[in-house]
Structure 1
Amino acid sequence: MMSTPGLLSVFRRTALAFALVTGGMPASAQESTNQSTDQSADQSATQIAGNQAVGEVVLIPSRVIYPGETINLAALKKVTLIVGKHKPEAVATRAEELDGKVAKRTLLPGRYIPSIAIREAWLVEQGASVQVFFIAGGLTISATAVTLQPGAAGDLVKVRNIDSGKILSGTVMADGTIQVSAS
């Protein structure tokens, strides 16, 4: 069977024109003005989108954030994900996940921020003088100690009692004190 070049060219032009008319616009721009005529097209676009993060807004660094630097919202910019772009699972992308946290490693502009690359700000710094409390029932014993490692609220840190020189482990409380328990 022999095909003529002119017929093939006409077929290609017709197919191209049809593709441009029916599917040339992005899915987000295909809003139907006549709902009764295009309901099936809207349903298929929704089914195609499925579980994708269509139009999801995420925060990424707008400049280099160095290790030990506190992350503030001024150093971040909002970006809307494109259709079909998936956000990785273990990244922080919302303001409440990032504001006030500290970078554990260099965060580059335009890149996602891995959850393991940020931490809570330290409530107690290494070498700081802190109050240590032992509470058992109605008994409360307090002492002054020096922290041997930094820690955020809820972290277990080691401290050295200034009077006795003993090393104790305790939990950092929200007010910056250390609570030890009987061991």
Structure 2
Amino acid sequence: MDHLIEKTIRQEKIFSGKVIQVYVEDVQLPNGNTSKREIVKHPGAVAILPLTNEGKLVLVRQYRKALERVLIEIPAGKLEKGEEPLATARRELEEETGYSAQSMRHLISFYTSPGFADELVHLYVAEGLVKLEEAAGLDADEFVDLLEVTLEEALAMLEAKEIYDAKTAYALQYLQLARALKK
């Protein structure tokens, strides 16, 4: 057993919402002392790096209430109960952008904020995009604008703090590194 593990002594659910649940846990620390942890449980999510046949990235502009501002992001969305990440990625790509992809490849999965949340994001690259005549459309409470930009334009937006979202920054830097290694 790892000597860094914290043992849960008591767990209390203090909030259950549409997307998240929040728990307060009493834990025994590795040195025998006790402490409290506030934990956000999340069903997990996907993020998609859609690349057009012209090599442009499809991004979304979306208002984020928690930040009280509009962000530019790669398309993303939460896993529905029992849904596989690839199916979620295909659904979210269609809903948020109106595109389907001939190729969808898993790049990596990562935790967004492991200090207090268990959200795991599965990052996919979508290629061979086809504009759908009848896309599924956004959720009733979702509103986005689409942008198509080159990687260089997206990196400039990142540098100018127009892109301020971690999953998007991560995906852009992943793509930048992948392209640099192919040269």
TM over 0.5: no
Q: Which has the higher contact order (CA 8 A, sep 6+)?
A: 2
| TM tier, smaller | under 0.3
The structure with the larger Rg is 1
More strand by share: 2
TM-score where L is the length of structure 1: 0.26
TM-score where L is the length of structure 2: 0.26
